[in-house]
Structure 1
Amino acid sequence: MSRSQILIVVVAIALAAAMFFLPKVVVNKEDKGAIAENQEAAATPANHSEDDGHDHGATEGTAVEAHMTATPDQLMELATVRAQYKKAADAQSRTRLATELAAAYATVNKYDSAGYFYEVAAKARPGENSYKKAGDAYYEAFTFAATQERANEMGAKARTMYEQVLKNNPSELNAKTNVAMTYIATTNPMQGIVLLREVLTADPKNEKALFNLGILSMQSNQYDKAVERFQNLVSVNPQHVEGTFYLAVALAETGQQEEAKALFNKVKGMSDDPALATSADEYLAKLN
């Protein structure tokens, strides 16, 4: 599935808010066993066991299905780079190969492992960009997490990386927004909401912050606030498909049925995604 599709909320409010980061693939059942077997053989990092908290693809439940995208060529490349990394004798080569290995893991959507090796590279050669790559990978792992425990773990790792970014560049609003969303998964969700509001203070047109605050408003049944957030979002970007869809949902929940119908019909013309069209049709059937 692509980023233009509607998400299935897997766990808790944090992962509901992570609907912005959409599942990327659908795997046929008959393909899962063979792909999983091959991927596990090639995808476990050196000194990075299934029990050390970095590569739990096989234990992620339904989330692992979204990660099973590796082709034989990708698995071969991954195994090759891993072998080179293990054999690298000098620090410079290991740092370079850690970055290549992280990118290879990201290509097959193994974001926890990608984050681990980007972090290795960042610690060896610190810099805003290197820490951001690690944070982004861990954040993707956070959005795919199938359990609250796993979300907390990946969210904490993402925050640690992003804190290094924000220390040097406090105006990096994408990193700040992602930090905010990881806090939503903790026992202090208000900290995340405060950060999102800070992002909007700095950039009132920030689409990501507007979208996530809208989703959070819906999850807490504050549909009036959700309408306001999504209206602001679509005024900034009239082609924002997900924002338009959720604006229609929020309008329907606040009794503005005609406006909601118009937007659901509009959404169907904004994307050729059949899942999105089906969702819109289901809402229209309820409203008619």
Structure 2
Amino acid sequence: MASRSRSHQLVILAIALALVAGLFLLPKVMVKPKEGKGELSQDAARTANRDGGGPATNGSKAIASSGEQEQTADPVAGTPEQPHQQATAEQSREIKQLAARYNKERDPQARLRVASDLAAKYKAIAKFDSAGYYYEQVAIARPGEQAWKRAADEYFEAFGFAATEERAKTLSAKTRELYEKVLKNNPDNLDAKTNLGMAYMASDNPVQGVTLLREVLATNPRNEKALYNLGILSIQSNQYDKAVERFRELVKVNPSNVNGQFYLGVSLAQTGAKDEARTAFTKAKSLSSDPSLAASVDEELSKLE
């Protein structure tokens, strides 16, 4: 289970299946399976990104270009993309002060320290693209695998909560750019490769995303994140038999994976295996005290009657 704290929220399938998401916890997202077999939508990429990523909160500030040297927009202004978390007055004050220092600072080393502080402050209020921008400035000055990945991870979080297709494409492109730099430094970074694969799902080349995820599993067949994301994509394309295979393997690797159990139940129900679906749903419910999960499980169990 991911170590950092995440809020529990409800996930819903457009086919009326209430799903539990978050690689191990619950973010909020609408999942819409496609009509045709094998067709993967950009919603699938953002869904599995949320499911495999960080806090169930949202970035809000528009993406900053790599060449930007100053922040001209209000650094803590909320938008409709940030419904779950707002900066406190103290956080707002600190960020504004740091932004002013960053814009005025001429000493390169001091400027990088301020950039790191700003990134951490933005991350704390779930403005992930702003955090990514400042971490990217640090990586440009001090490039390396971990520096690039820290920036890429924040843009990946922002991509996962993009409210529009246009914004998803923009954030996906930045995410891909930075993860490519990570993999240039270390081609064996499977977490970066997995996230890069999901970012490709919102590009003009989604097949490349699936290819990358399969490469991860070829290297590590027990990789929970890759199994989970491929399972989500199988559901998204109505390939429920394949989804069952992915989620069966996931819960074999980690029987305590709440979402793996829940999505296994969803997939089994769609294939008509009602008894097995009941077992998976009941297992998911036993692994969490979240009332929204319990309600979702009860609703899905009632549909199996």
Smaller-chain TM-score bracket = 0.7 to 0.9
Which letter maps to 2:83?
Answer: E
Q: Residue 24 of structure 1: which of 56, 61, 65 is its match?
A: 56
Supply the AA of the counterpart residue of 1:261: R
Name the SS for the 1:9 alignment partner: strand
Alpha carbons of structure 1 residues 181 and 234: separation in structure 2 relative to 1, 3 Å: same
Which residue in 2 is equivalent to 1:76? 93
Please name the residue that 1:32 is paired with: none
Structure 2 counterpart of 1:137, from 129, 148, 154 = 154
Selected match of 1:193 from 207, 210, 214: 210
- Give the count of matched residue pairs: 266
AA aligned opposite 2:70: N
| TM-score normalised over the length of structure 1 | 0.86
Superposition map of 1:58-207 within 5 A: 58-59=78-79, 61=80, 63-66=81-84, 68-207=85-224
Match of 2:3 in 1: none
Which one is further off, 240-249 or 17-26? Answer: 17-26
Aligned to 2:29: 8
Pairing partner for 1:48 from 71, 75, 97: 71
Residue 222 (structure 1) aligns with: 239
Measured in 2, the distance between the counterparts of 1:172 and 1:157 equals: 18
| Superposition deviation, residue 212 in structure 1 | 0.2
Q: In 2, are the aligned partners of 1:234 and 1:243 still within 8 Å (CA)?
A: yes
- Tell me whether 272-281 or 15-24 shows the greater mean CA deviation: 15-24
* Pairwise CA distance, 1:127: 1.4
Correspondences of 1:230-249 after superposition (within 5 Å): 230-249=247-266
Gapped regions of structure 2 (runs ≥ 5): 1-6, 9-21, 32-41, 62-67
In 1, the alpha carbon distance for the partners of 2:293 and 2:281 equals: 10
Q: Which SS does the other structure have where 1:154 is aligned?
A: helix
Amino acid at match of 1:72: A
Which whole-Å deviations, capped at 9, do the CAs of 1:228-279 have from their partners, x for residues lacking one? 0000000001111111100010010010101111221121110111111111
The CA distance in 1 between the partners of 2:218 and 2:224, in whole Å, is 13
- Residue 15 of structure 1 deviates from its aligned partner by 1.7
Decide whether aligned partners of structure 1 residues 6 and 126 sit closer, same or farther in structure 2, where only a CA change above 3 A counts.
closer
Amino acid at match of 1:198: E
d(CA) in 1 for partners of 2:138, 2:204: 31
Partner amino acid for 2:143?
A: P
Q: Which has the higher contact order (CA 8 A, sep 6+)?
A: 2
